[in-house]
Amino acid sequence: MKKLIVLLALALAGCTTAGPTTTGDAQQGCVTDYAEGRDYFPDKSTVDESELWDISYHNSYKTITLTDTETTTGTKLTYVLYQCGTPQPKAAGDLEGALFVQVPVTNVAVTSFNALAMVDRLGKSASITGLSGQLLDNAKKDPWYDGVVKSAGQPVSVGEYTDLDKEALLGGKTQAILMSGFGQGFDDISNARAAGLPGISVSNRMERHALASAEWIKMVGAFYNAEAAANAEFDKIKSRYDEVVRTVSGKIDNRRVGYLCVTPERGCEFVYGHGAETLVGRLFTQLGVTNVFARDNGAPNGKPYDFEAGVGAGADADFFAVYDPMKMTLDTLKADPRMARFRPFREGTFIAGVDKNFEECRAKTYLDVDVLIRDLAIGLAPELFPGASGTCFTRQ
Residue 45 has pLDDT above 60, yes or no: yes
Better pLDDT: 72 or 170 = 170
Question: Long-range CB contacts (< 8 A, 24+ apart) of 4-8?
Answer: 4/170, 4/171, 4/173, 7/170, 7/196, 8/166, 8/167, 8/170, 8/171
How much is the average pLDDT of 197-212?
92
Tell me the pLDDT band of 27, cut-offs 50, 70 and 90: low
* Rounded-to-integer distance, Cα 217 and Cα 239, Å: 15
* The pLDDT of residue 181: 84
* The pLDDT of residue 361: 96
Q: Which numeric CATH code is attached to 53-238? A: 3.40.50.1980
How much is the average pLDDT of 126-135?
95
* The pLDDT of residue 291: 97
| Angle, CA 221 vertex, CA 216 and CA 227 arms, to 5° | 105
Residue among 327, 48, 84, 334 nearest 224 (CA): 84
List pLDDT tens digits, range 143-158: 999 999 999 999 999 9
Tell me the pLDDT band of 205, cut-offs 50, 70 and 90: confident
* The pLDDT of residue 190: 86
How much is the average pLDDT of 55-59?
98
* The pLDDT of residue 251: 92
* Rounded-to-integer distance, Cα 366 and Cα 34, Å: 39
Residues making up the chain, counted from first to last = 396
* The pLDDT of residue 21: 53
pTM for this one?
0.89
Which helix (H) or strand (E) is 238 found in, with range?
helix 227-248
State the CATH architecture for 249-395.
3-Layer(aba) Sandwich (3.40)
Tell me the pLDDT band of 14, cut-offs 50, 70 and 90: very low
* Rounded-to-integer distance, Cα 317 and Cα 304, Å: 17
* Rounded-to-integer distance, Cα 202 and Cα 86, Å: 26
List pLDDT tens digits, range 302-320: 999 999 999 999 999 999 9
* The pLDDT of residue 28: 62
CATH 3.40.50.1980 in the chain: give the residue spans.
Answer: 53-238, 249-395
List pLDDT tens digits, range 329-387: 999 999 999 999 999 999 999 999 999 999 999 999 999 999 999 999 999 999 999 99
How much is the average pLDDT of 182-201?
85
